[in-house]
Every structure is written in structure tokens, then in C-alpha cells.
Amino acid sequence: MIEIEARLDELKALGLSRRTRLVSGPQGPHVVLDGKPVVLLCSNNYLGLADHPRVRTAAAEAAMRWGVGAGASRLVSGTMTIHRRLEERLAAFEGRETALLFGSGYLANAGVVAALARPGDVVFSDALNHASIIDGCRLSRAEVFIYHHRDVEHLAWGIAQSERRGALIVTDSVFSMDGDVAPLEQIVELAERHQIRVVVDEAHATGTLGPGGRGALAEAGLEDQVDVIVGTLGKALGSYGAYVACDRAMSKYLVNAARTFIFSTALPPPATAGALAALEILEEEPRRVQKLATNAAALRTELEREGFDLQGSRTQIMPVVVGDAALAMRICESALSHGVFAQAIRPPTVPAGTSRLRLAVMASHRADELAGAARTIAQVARAAGFEPRDAPRTILADTGEFTEIAAGAGHEHLWGDRDEAMPAGLFDAESEDATRPFDYEAPAPVARAA
């Protein structure tokens, strides 16, 4: 049995204790946080649509017409006309035959991965994929090969070791804590060569990258060359929920096989209608995507001028990596006291030793306030003892040997030597500590190839 108070004390001592913060009023470039006005630099409301008048009105009218809740799962009585209307518009937006709504991005990723892989299969997953993908791997009970972040050579090596059991390559397109983009062209080429399905989570790319905000796959001209596109309604589209875009056969299969779809209540009509209105605005006003890119470039320039290394980010997400969890919290709290809300992100959300401020830009920010925020963050970082220009660049270790690491709870093994024989347990070795409390972002309970 977990000793709750002892575990809370342990988290506090490690600098990993968390609490909620209270935002008063709508999500926007400025909010009142715990009673104090601040510039908001950690919201995923990238296009500023969460409080757009048309989106609000659509949600309110939907509540009056269809009610507040759907009342049942999609396969019972929960599929309503507003759901079908949004699915049709999302399919057209993504250029796919059909789209299928899920209750959240977490449910979509977990359900799709678990439905497309089974025991005995191998899933190939990027080391920095979102927790929902990791948990989908766990639910599938497939064997999991976790390749170095964005490392196509390591992915190819893993596929070669899998003895033709590869079922699925799954990756974020834009990585939520780093802001960099997956090497999608090379991944698709590998998948085609080895006849492996590909699932791409476009959560942080939908509405932010590509022509008309149609994502990183569209930017690369690959939107029709992957099996499943996962998109979200809760970030750039300002609402809640998620969808998968795919062909009709895949959609029919997921309706019958994705447990997170089958056993979840359908999206509330107001959220569905709000997302539909936001999608219409995005299609009518693609300049919002360009404004987001302009703002992101402005903040990136100012942060780099202050000496911060942004780890290769080219999107609206920018990591200010400081390393130590307690230091990240001190900088976060100090920035808050100066009117800038840039959330500290610590393990297990990010690897040990890479705690950071995760900055997220909105199209609705002003250039001058972004420049001021960059200066504020630099000033409070230096006051806390962190000099951006002296910080070593963070590189994920590639030791080329079998070893153990302490990723929050020291629960996993790594294997990364491509020149030695593959250990028997590369894909299926169990770890008794893999499900330790608070280790919720760890990979599936199998040996991790690093």
C-alpha cells in the first residue's frame, strides 16, 4: 500500500511536488493567475480561439439546441448530428476519407495504438513521445522498441532486429516539451520499405504548421502517406476532444476495436460545436497561422539574443532547459512575480536533468510583450544563478552499452549498442518497478532501447 504522506514528502524533497494554479476569466494572452495579472506563456491556445466570440456563441447555441452532454457513448445513443458534421469537416480539412471523434487526445492515442498492435507485435516509438502514446503501448501489450529521439538510423536498426514483427511506428509530429519536429519523410520511407503502419500525432501541429494550418504532415506533403493522423480539438482549435483522420476501413476498425472510443461518453455538444466554429475560422483566416509563426520567431530571436539554447525548436513551443528541477521552479516563481507565467516542467514529464521552462506562444500575443517576457526570464534566471550563455547543451545520452539510468524512479534499462548481439530481452524483458507510482511517463514495462 502506498504511504501517501510519505510519498508527498518525497516528491517535495525532490523538487517534484505539484499544485494547480487558478486562472480567472478566459484563456488569452493575458490572464489573472491566482489573483494577479500575468502574460500567459504556457497555454496551448495557440491561435487564440478558445475565447473567440464566434466559438463562444457556437458553444452556447449548441448547449441550447442539443443540451450540455451527449448522454452516452458513441456506439449507444451518443452520436449526434453535430458530431457527424464535425467529423465530415475534419476529414475534408485533413484530406482523408473520414475522421472519427474521440473524447480527448489522450484517449485517441491510447485507443489507436492499443487497437493496432497486439501481443507478439512490435511497436516502434520515439523516446520523447507523449504519455498517451506510451500508455497506448502499455495497453496493447505489444513489445516496444523505443528509438532515440528523432534518430532514424536507430529506428532502422530496431526494425532490423524485430524479425518482421513490426506492426506500427508511432511518433508525435511536433514534440510537446521540445518544439522540434519529427523526421517524417524518413519515417514514412522506412515504413513503406518494411510494410509497417504509421501513426502520427499532430496535436501540436494542427493549426500551427503547414498550408492552412493542416499540420507537419501537410507541410511535408505526406498527409496521405500515413495510416492514421491524430489531431486535437483542445489546442489550436480552442475546444476539447480529438479525432483520427484515416481511410474508411481503418475508421470502421477503430469503431470496433478502440476501447477508448467504445467505452467513453461522446464529446459534449457545446465542445463539438465550438471546435467546428474554430475550424471554420482557421479555414477563413489562415493569416492566424502566419501570425503565430511571426510571434514564435520574434520570441525565439529575443531568447537567443539573451543566450538561451532552444534545443532546435522551430515551432511555437520553446524549451528553456535549466537542468535542475528546484532551479526551474525558482525561475518560474520569480518570473511569475514579475508578471510572466512560464511553467516549470520537471520529471517525469521530461527526463531527469532536463527540467525547463516550457514556453508556448499564441497568435494573439504582441511582439513587444514577447520581447519583454524574454528579458524578464533572462533576468530572473541570472538572479537565480543560471547564466544562459554558460549552460551546456542538453543531449540525450547514447552510451552504446547496456546500463541503468535513474529516470525519476530508476526503473528502466537501456540498450543502444548496434554493433553487439541483441540481448534476448530487448523487446520483452519485464521490470518489476515499471509501474511505480508517479512514474506515469515511463515507457511500457519492457526493456527500453536507447
Which residues are known to be catalytic? 176, 204, 235
**Residue 189: how many other CB atoms lie within 10 Å:** 15
Could you tell me the three cell numbers for 43?
497555454
CA distances from 355 to 8, 329, 428 (A): 19, 9, 30
**Residue 211: how many other CB atoms lie within 10 Å:** 12
Could you tell me the three cell numbers for 417?
549498442
Helices within 173-323 (DSSP H only):
184-194, 216-219, 248-257, 259-262, 269-284, 287-305
| 211 DSSP 8-state letter | G
Strand-pair partners of 101: 243
DSSP states of 336-398: HHTTEE--EE-TTSS-TT-EEEEEE--TTS-HHHHHHHHHHHHHHHHHTT--GGGPPPP----
**Residue 49: how many other CB atoms lie within 10 Å:** 29
Pairing of strands 340-341, 317-323: unpaired
